[in-house]
Structure 1
Amino acid sequence: MELFSSSLTATTILLYVVTPLLYLCFLVWKVVNHKRDHECYILGYQCYKPGDDRKLGTQCSGSIISRNKTLALNDFKFLLKAIVSSGIGEETYVPRNFLQGRESNPTVNDAVSEMDEFFHDSIAKLLAKTGVSASDIDVLVVNVSMFPSVPSLTSRIINHYKMRDDVKAFNLTGMGCSASLVSLDVVQNILKSQRNKCALLVTSESLSPNWYSGNDRSMVLANCLFRTGGCAILLSNKSWLKHKAIFKLKCLVRTHHGAKDDAYGCCNQKEDDEGRLGFYLGKNLPKAATRAFVDNLRVLSPKILPAREMLRFLLVSLLRKFKSVTSAPKVAALATNTKYGNKSPLNLKTGVDHFCLHTGGKAVIDGIGMSLDLSEYDLEPARMTLHRFGNTSASSLWYVLAYMEAKRRLKRGDRVLMISFGAGFKCNSCLWQVMKDVEDRNVWDECIDQYPPHSLANPFMEQYGWINAVQDPTNFNLLSQPATN
């Protein structure tokens, strides 16, 4: 009877003590195992710098503009003002057909050649830099908004580099300037669900077939801002490659206001009244961007800021609401007028060390800087990237990141916030953690020591400022007048 009682006691202990402990250990192992090999690391990235023969200097820019016979005197004055205030220098790059005088009559081969030059240069350099073979790539994501080729651009890359036949390829079009982070979201979701994968993200824009040859000011602005560029990024979730990683993705937030008609229509590709295809930038674009930015910050802030900052923000918001019931601020405390508005009471610097901003234009950079109360030091990478490379659409964020790296700003443990805007209308953001001290000069190698320059003023006013004094719209030649002293 005593033996039976002892056996029953041991069984009871096993049932009520050991079994729950084993189950708890199983749950812990399950959580740890689930997170293992599901991270998203950047092993390397390579921005694209075309040859010097594709630089768009002041004189060359004037030649291209003068070929547009639909422009009148006031249109030239408008363009001069836009270019002078754009923040773009004269060392940016354009497609070859622009320089050859064929911007209004592009061919499919022009667009294909533009993309191939980028693919063959940047991807090859990236693979050589990281020591990864093209056959090791499991996932390929390419985003080029305005050139949906057949076969797809992913197929061109797979064919050129002879990738495996089981590579998972995704070709994104029409996603605008924020497509880079959309592609990153695709890669992140794949790496979360599948282990031991390497992914190649290729981001660019095709300008060759997208020159606007009309005189609609809302569409001709795109000609002033967009320039050739691109970037190839190698990502992985392999834990044994963690020591080689330079960045780790902490979080990514996507905001899409496509359901709002005004946001949807403020930035799109369409034909003007004369049937000329171009890229339209509406007057309500700043307002749409502000609303998307506010909503994105509302979701992003709790993910990246410490609890003390969120508590301080709550107290400040309550105090403002108490002081002014009729003009209470929104949750993110950003104004929704046509400018980027008032400063946010949120101090993002409590959770972010560096800000990687989309180079959509000087006004965009100024607006975000004012909204987030950023210093000139914080805005310098975006300003210098805009000046040197222009708005390279979805790839612009990576040129900004490369500037920070070339300046040796990024140290292990630092947190880098990327913010981008795109047609749709979208605002996407993500936070990276620097895994080790980095100082690769990337495409900035030859010029980083000259940045920042004493002045960002471009020479367009000096060269073409005389046009503002012209009164007779029928008696002037844009290329024959001397420079203003």
Structure 2
Amino acid sequence: MEFLTLFSLVTVLYLCFLIWKLFDQRRDQECYILDYQLYKGSDERKLGTDYCGRIIERNKSLGLNEYKFLLKAIVNSGIGEETYAPRNFLEGRESSPTLKDGVEEMEEFFQDTIAKLLARSGVSSSEIDVLVVNVSMFSDVPSLTSRIMNHYKMREDVKAFNLSGMGCSASLISLDIVKNIFKSHKNKYALLVTSESLSPNWYNGNERSMILANCLFRTGGCVVLLTNKRALKHKAMLKLKCLVRTHHGARDDAFNCCRQIEDEQGRLGVYLGRNLPKAATRAFVDNLRVLSPKILPARELLRFLFVSLIKKITQISSPKSAGTGKSRDGPRSGLNFKSGVDHFCLHTGGKAVIDGIGLSLDLCEYDLEPARMTLHRFGNTSASSLWYVLGYMEAKKRLKKGDRVLMISFGAGFKCNSCLWEVVKDLEGRNVWDDRIDGYPPESLANPFMKKFGWINNVEDATNFKLFDFLN
């Protein structure tokens, strides 16, 4: 009897040890953001209304209909006059870029942001264990990761990853790589570098489906310092709760809706197909289907199931009066995401993208404000746009301890990626928004392009319109 009692005690203690070890191991797998640094170009690189006009006029292959299309696209873009362009655009060389233009654009971003981030955080470049760089449309040899390692003299055992072709959702793909490395390696620092190279990617043709990209994208980037060091938890800004990736690359329509191709004249550009909104919606819905149970409270999921059941019963009993399940304005998720999320960090792909996500998730203007203001101030900076939205929230002092922040991004392929962060402490840091934050949101978000070009409503207007009269 005593032996059995002793054996039982040892067994219980051993099981407790295993449970404690498993719990302790999971604590070392957490992913924290210690700091991040946003990139802001110099003032001479600001792309105002006048200079947009000059760049458009330089494209001699455009006809009157293409001018009208471009001007209306800019008018409706939601982009303001303080976004940034690459230097070769401002020098009039956008149609004949060199390899040097792409390299210098990236090095200017790397050397500015990484240096500032490391200096502010007190972490030296020799302490970095993981380096992930995502720049979709520029691939150099040696790789961009190698350029960073060479410039900052990082260790030879750094785990380096260089991602290309992953589109605007690449930030969260990079984050997923870091998260998975943290699961099997303790006490590591990771540097996530996200940007896009515009210098070599201006489309100089007249295909409408390809010139639209010229209107939307602007220069930007962000560097994020992450760790899984338990001892640094008190210094962290955000803690990663979950991350969901959805990739519809196996679907031909989704794969083909956003591609880098050459037009009939051999001019390279990014093709945006008419079926892109449909592909994005489908990827978004599939992503939410996986994400919702991970981030929403049980009571909200039960309420949604109950309401869905009632609707189905009603449709069965009254088939003639049953609708399509969509509102006239577009599809809605039916779930109340505000029950599990405090702030929404949305990809600034364009005004229509922000409006569409807001409609689907039933968000108010307060929720959409950070994305709208980011689009207005910095434009679509591709994969780094999420971090400018986060920076706006921080500059507005919205992020308080315990708040939950949902990031949603879309990218070519077609992909929809999302993740949920928990704010570890009240955030009131300084970033690139500081010099403008008091003026946002403005009382009237007037579009400068609307004032100068908004009256163009038909081909006759475009015919009679001399593009550069307003400059004289």
Task: Name the TM-score class by shorter chain.
Answer: over 0.9
Equivalent residue for 2:239? 248
5, 25, 28: which one aligns with 1:13? 5
Residue by residue, what CA displacement relative to the aligned partner does 1:188-242 show, whole Å, maximum 9, x if unpaired? 0001111000000000000000000011111100000000000000000000010
Residue by residue, what CA displacement relative to the aligned partner does 1:299-329 show, whole Å, maximum 9, x if unpaired? 0000000100000000011111112246989
448, 452, 467: which one aligns with 1:459? 448
Contact 1:290 1:340 in 2 (8 A): no
| Cα deviation, residue 482, structure 1 | 6.4
Residue by residue, what CA displacement relative to the aligned partner does 1:321-362 show, whole Å, maximum 9, x if unpaired? 1122469899xx778xxx982222100000000000000000
Q: How does 1:290-369 map to 2 (within 5 A)?
A: 290-325=281-316, 341-369=330-358
SS at the partner of 1:46?
Answer: strand
179, 182, 195: which one aligns with 2:186? 195
SS at the partner of 2:223?
Answer: strand
Paired letter, 2:302: L
Equivalent residue for 2:172? 181
**Structure 1 469/422 Cα, relative in aligned 2: closer, same or farther at 3 Å?**
closer
216, 225, 241: which one aligns with 2:207? 216
SS at the partner of 1:33?
Answer: helix
| Cα deviation, residue 463, structure 1 | 2.5
Unaligned runs of 5+ in 1: 1-8
- Does residue 383 of structure 1 match 2:372? yes
**Structure 1 211/482 Cα, relative in aligned 2: closer, same or farther at 3 Å?**
closer
- Does residue 43 of structure 1 match 2:50? no
357, 362, 374: which one aligns with 1:373? 362
Q: How does 1:87-236 map to 2 (within 5 A)?
A: 87-236=78-227
Structure 2 Cα separation of the partners of residues 354 and 32 of structure 1 = 29
| Cα deviation, residue 478, structure 1 | 1.8
SS at the partner of 1:442?
Answer: coil
SS at the partner of 1:444?
Answer: coil
Structure 2 Cα separation of the partners of residues 455 and 248 of structure 1 = 35
Structure 2 Cα separation of the partners of residues 419 and 24 of structure 1 = 40
Structure 2 Cα separation of the partners of residues 471 and 118 of structure 1 = 43
**Structure 1 468/12 Cα, relative in aligned 2: closer, same or farther at 3 Å?**
closer
**Structure 1 334/414 Cα, relative in aligned 2: closer, same or farther at 3 Å?**
farther
- Does residue 59 of structure 1 match 2:50? yes
| Cα deviation, residue 450, structure 1 | 0.6
- Does residue 445 of structure 1 match 2:437? no
Residue by residue, what CA displacement relative to the aligned partner does 1:107-148 show, whole Å, maximum 9, x if unpaired? 000000000010011111111111111111000000000001
Structure 1 Cα separation of the partners of residues 394 and 359 of structure 2 = 24
Contact 1:178 1:427 in 2 (8 A): yes
Structure 2 Cα separation of the partners of residues 97 and 415 of structure 1 = 40
| Cα deviation, residue 439, structure 1 | 1.0
Paired letter, 1:82: A
Paired letter, 1:256: H
* Alignment RMSD (CA, Å): 1.9
SS at the partner of 1:251?
Answer: strand
Contact 1:340 1:367 in 2 (8 A): no
| Cα deviation, residue 69, structure 1 | 0.5
Structure 1 Cα separation of the partners of residues 166 and 329 of structure 2 = 23
**Structure 1 482/35 Cα, relative in aligned 2: closer, same or farther at 3 Å?**
closer
Equivalent residue for 1:420? 409
Deviates more, 1:458-467 or 1:383-392: 458-467
Paired letter, 2:447: N
Paired letter, 1:264: F
| Cα deviation, residue 479, structure 1 | 1.5
Contact 2:75 2:454 in 1 (8 A): no
Paired letter, 1:434: V
SS at the partner of 1:416?
Answer: strand
SS at the partner of 2:242?
Answer: strand
Contact 2:80 2:376 in 1 (8 A): yes
SS at the partner of 1:443?
Answer: coil
Paired letter, 1:13: T
Residue by residue, what CA displacement relative to the aligned partner does 1:348-377 show, whole Å, maximum 9, x if unpaired? 000000000000000000000011110000
| Cα deviation, residue 476, structure 1 | 5.9
| Cα deviation, residue 457, structure 1 | 2.5
Paired letter, 2:98: T
**Structure 1 57/41 Cα, relative in aligned 2: closer, same or farther at 3 Å?**
same
Unaligned runs of 5+ in 2: none
**Structure 1 401/59 Cα, relative in aligned 2: closer, same or farther at 3 Å?**
same
**Structure 1 473/426 Cα, relative in aligned 2: closer, same or farther at 3 Å?**
closer
TM (norm. structure 1) is 0.93
Contact 2:257 2:279 in 1 (8 A): yes
**Structure 1 329/26 Cα, relative in aligned 2: closer, same or farther at 3 Å?**
farther
Structure 1 Cα separation of the partners of residues 261 and 372 of structure 2 = 29
- Does residue 434 of structure 1 match 2:426? no
TM (norm. structure 2) is 0.96
Contact 1:84 1:457 in 2 (8 A): no
Identity of paired residues, percent?
74
Structure 2 Cα separation of the partners of residues 112 and 481 of structure 1 = 35
Paired letter, 2:409: S
393, 416, 423: which one aligns with 1:404? 393
| Cα deviation, residue 72, structure 1 | 0.8
Structure 2 Cα separation of the partners of residues 475 and 186 of structure 1 = 54
Equivalent residue for 2:248? 257
Contact 2:132 2:174 in 1 (8 A): yes
Structure 2 Cα separation of the partners of residues 328 and 166 of structure 1 = 62
Structure 1 Cα separation of the partners of residues 291 and 77 of structure 2 = 29
Structure 2 Cα separation of the partners of residues 315 and 150 of structure 1 = 56
